[in-house]
């Protein structure tokens, strides 16, 4: 049984704006084929947070491309934002932007392996207002890149 708040898959141009979601599962779950998705002003919790989930579970799944998550509040969630995939399966989630001006507590970065293909430069991990617990593989290095002095625009 699935108790996700909002479940999005194979959709283009969806906006989830200014809403409160209280479920003990994913507040928003994003499946394959989702493109140009904006999640803005969502209050989430309790639950798992916002998840890009189970990519490459089935054959012929499409990549997730162009997800912007900003101005969201997570309360009593097991995760903030996560990309959840299957072990030893190559997953494609591209152009994922998470931005927030929040103080985060009890943040854990575990087993991250992000590969980059394209001409826009290497993958970096940037963190502010957080001191995460780091475990397992970290590629790129957790919170390694400096935060730009001018905020990155997230449409």
Rounded CA-CA distance 15/9 in Å is: 13
Rounded CA-CA distance 123/93 in Å is: 13
Estimate to the nearest angstrom the gap between the alpha carbon of 68 and the chain centroid. 9
Q: Which of 7, 12, 25, 32 is catalytic?
A: 25
Residue 95, CB-side half-sphere exposure with 13 Å CA sphere: 16
Rounded CA-CA distance 74/50 in Å is: 9
Residue 48 designated active-site: yes
Q: Which of 7, 12, 26, 48 is catalytic?
A: 48
Residues that are catalytic = 25, 48
């Amino acid at each position: 049984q699935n108790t996700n708040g909002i479940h999005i898959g194979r959709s283009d141009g969806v906006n989830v704006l200014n809403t409160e979601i209280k479920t003990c599962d994913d507040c928003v779950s994003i499946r394959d084929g989702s493109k140009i998705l904006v999640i803005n002003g969502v209050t989430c919790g309790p639950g798992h947070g916002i998840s890009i989930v189970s990519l490459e579970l089935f054959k012929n799944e499409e990549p997730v491309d162009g997800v912007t998550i900003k101005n969201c509040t997570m309360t009593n969630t097991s995760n903030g934002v996560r990309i959840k995939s299957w072990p030893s399966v190559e997953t494609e989630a591209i152009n994922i932007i998470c931005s927030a001006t929040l103080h985060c507590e009890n943040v854990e970065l575990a087993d991250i392996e992000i590969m980059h293909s394209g001409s826009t430069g290497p993958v970096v991990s940037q963190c502010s207002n957080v001191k995460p617990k780091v475990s397992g593989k970290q590629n790129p290095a957790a919170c390694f890149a400096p935060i730009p002095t001018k905020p990155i625009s997230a449409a």
